[in-house]
Amino acid sequence: MSFSRKNPINTNAWLKLSAHFEQLKAVHLQEMFSQNSLRESQMSVSWENFFVDFSKNRWTSETIQLFQELASELNLKESIALYFKENNLNFTEDRAVLHTALRSAEKTVVFGGKNIVEDINAVKHKIKLFTESVIAGAKKGCTGKAFTDVVNIGIGGSDLGPKLVCNALKYYKNHLNTHYISNIDGDELQETLQKINPETTLFVIVSKSFTTSETLQNANTIKNWFVSQLSEQALEQHFIAVSANPDKAVAFGMPNEAVFPMWDWVGGRFSLWSAVGVSIALGVGYDNYDKLLLGAQKADESFKNNDLKENVPVLMAFLSVWYSNFFKTTNEAVIPYSYYLEDFVPYLEQGFMESNGKSVDRNGEEVAYNTGSVVFGGVGSNAQHAFMQLFHQGTNLIPTDFIGFCNSLHGNSAHQDVLISNMFAQANALAFGTRGKEIENPYKVFKGNSPSTTFLIKKLTPETLGSLIAIYEHKIFVQGILLNINSFDQFGVELGKELSREYINSLENESNGYSALMQFYKENN
C-alpha cells in the first residue's frame, strides 16, 4: 500500500467541512463555552505527563468528526502505519523516511532487505562509549588535558535540533560547555573561538553529505585556526564528524573511528535522534540522551495506536488545516512559558516551513489550497510585551500554542505560579476578550475569539522534551498527508545556494558586471 495522492478539496468530507464552516465562522468562543459547561474537559486530552487543552479553538465535536471523515478518505491511519515501516514517503528524492526507527523499541525494522536496528544500536553504543569517555576525562586532548568545551559545526537540522535540546536541558548539563556554530558569518565564528581553548576543545563537524558549503567553510576556518595554535597531528584527537559520507570526512583529516555514521533515510530536520545528537550526549550525558529518545518513542506509540479523536498530533494537524484553509490564516504562533525552550520556535520554524512550505502536490500539480503556514513565536511572558498586542487587537487571526510546565526545575514555586498564571490569562484573554463587558473606551475593547491550544506538562525532563518534539514532528507528517504534499523534500533551499555560488565567483573574479548593490559592497569591503 502507498500513500494517498488524492486532492483533499475533491473529497466529500472537504465539502462538508466547507458547509460546516459557514455555520460556525461567526460563532464566538464564549458562546461555545456558555452552551457546554463541560467543553474544557470534553475537548482536552490527558496523556502521560501531558494535559492538552483544545477547547479554546473555534471548532466543535462535529468539526472533529468531519476531519476524521477527511482522514478516512485520505487513508491517514494506513499512512501512519506505513510511516513506521519501510516506505517511499520522500518519493521526489527517492528516499525513505525512517527517523522514527532511531528511537524505536522494535527489534526489527527492515529497510532494503536489512534489519537496520542492528546498525542503529551499533552507532548508539559507539556514541555511549565515546561520550562517556570524554565526560569522565578518560579521553583527553593532545596536551593531556581533559576536555572542557564542545563546538558543534553544522547548519539547519545539524544545528537547530541539537542546540534546542542542549539548551533546553541545561539544567541537566555536566561540566562540558557546548557551543554551536552554524551561520557563515565570520564574526559569529570569531566570537566563539575567543571563548575556547584549543587544548581543551572537542569539535564536532555535522554534515550529512559533508559537502554543505557553510559547514565546510566554517570547519576549514576552525581547522586552520586550530593547526596554527597546536599542530596538524593534533586534529585527530580533537575533531570528530557525523556524516553519511565518511570518505569525505576522512579526507578532511579524521580517522575512520572518529566518524559517526548516519543514513540517507534520516532527513536533516529530523536527525537529532541520530548521531547528529552526539553533542547532546556530550552536554547532558548519554543517560539523559537515552531518556530523550524514550520520550519520543512513547509519543510514537501513542501516535500509532490512539484513536484519531484522542490523538494529540492528529488533532493539532486538523486545527492547522482548519484555520489555514477555512479561516484563511497564514500564521501560527508557538509560545513556550519556559526560558529553557527559547530555541524551540526556531527549531519548529525549520520543521514546519521547510517541510510543508510546498505549492506542488504528490501528483506534480500546483495546489489550489493553502499548505504550510508561517510559524513564529517567542518565550512567555516576554512575548506579552513584544508581539501579542497584535494578537489581541490586530486584524490578523493567529492560532497559538501555549506550552507550560507545572514545576520549576529550581523549585521556585512563587515565580512559577506567576509565570503560568500569565499563560492561562493570555489564553483566556485571546478567547473571550472583554466580550459581555461595558467598555466605553474603544481603544480598550478586546473582541476575543482568537484560538489557542494549551500544553501543560508536569515537568521539563529529557523524556518529556523528547515527547514534545516528536508530537510536533508527527503533526508535520499528518498535515502533509491531509494536504497531499511531500513534507520531506526541500528543493526550495537549493536555488539560493546555487545563486550564491554565482555571486561568490563574480566577486572572486573581479567581474565588470556588478549590480549597484554589488558595486557598493566591493567599494566598501
Grid cell digits, residue 107: 527489534
Q: Residue 455's beta-bridge partner residues?
A: 52, 403
* Residue type for position 16: K
**Which of 462, 502, 131 lies closest to 297, judged by CA?**
462
User: Cα torsion at 454, 460, 464, 465 (round to 10°)?
Assistant: 90
Q: 518, 500 in Cβ contact below 8 A? A: no
The DSSP-derived string for 458-481 is S---HHHHHHHHHHHHHHHHHHHH
What is residue 505's predicted lDDT score, i.e. its pLDDT?
Answer: 84
Q: What is the pLDDT of residues 349-400, one digit of tens each?
A: 999 999 999 999 999 999 999 999 999 999 999 999 999 999 999 999 999 9
CATH architecture of 8-74+306-489: 3-Layer(aba) Sandwich (3.40)
Distances (CA, A) of 317 to 1, 324, 395, 469, 480: 23, 11, 24, 15, 9
pLDDT score for 512: 65
Rounded distance between C-alpha atoms, residue 409 and residue 460, angstroms: 7
Rounded to a whole number of angstroms, the distance between the first and last alpha carbons of the chain is 57
- What is the model's pLDDT at position 61? 97
pLDDT score of 47:
97
Predicted confidence at residue 354, as pLDDT, reads 97
Residue-level pLDDT, tens digit, the chain, 525 residues: 578 899 999 999 999 999 999 999 999 999 999 999 999 999 999 999 999 999 999 999 999 999 999 999 999 999 999 999 988 899 999 999 999 999 999 999 999 999 999 999 999 999 999 999 999 999 999 999 999 999 999 999 999 999 999 999 999 999 999 999 999 999 999 999 999 999 999 999 999 999 899 999 999 999 999 999 999 999 999 999 999 999 999 999 889 999 999 999 999 999 999 999 999 999 999 999 999 999 999 999 999 999 999 999 999 999 999 999 999 999 999 999 999 999 999 999 999 999 999 999 999 999 999 999 999 999 999 999 999 999 999 999 999 999 999 999 999 999 999 999 999 999 999 999 999 999 999 999 999 999 999 999 999 999 999 999 999 999 999 999 999 999 999 999 888 888 888 888 888 877 666 788 888 888 898
109-288 maps to CATH 3.40.50.10490 = yes
Domains 8-74+306-489 and 109-288 share a fold: yes
b/e string for 47-86 if b means 16 or more Cβ within 10 A?
Answer: bebbebbbbbbbbbeebbebbbbbbebbbbbebbebbbee
Q: Would residue 510 be called left, alpha or beta, if left means φ above 0 and alpha means ψ between -120 and 50 degrees?
A: left
Which of 350, 370, 348 lies closest to 359, judged by CA?
370
pLDDT at position 1 is 54
Residue 271 to residue 217: CA distance in whole angstroms = 22
**Residue positions annotated with a catalytic role:** 354, 385, 497
- Going from N- to C-terminal start, the domains of the chain cover 8-74+306-489, 109-288, 494-523
Q: Can you give the pLDDT at residue 494?
A: 83
Q: Environment class of residue 372 by beta-carbon count within 10 Å: exposed (0-12), middle (13-18) or buried (19+)?
A: buried
Please count the residues of the chain. Answer: 525
β-sheet bridge partners, residue 111: 114
Q: Are 286 and 127 in contact (CB under 8 A)?
A: yes
Grid-cell match 549590480, residue found: 515
d(CA 329, CA 308): 24
377 forms bridges with which residues in the sheet?
A: 334
Cβ-contact 207, 156 below 8 angstroms:
no
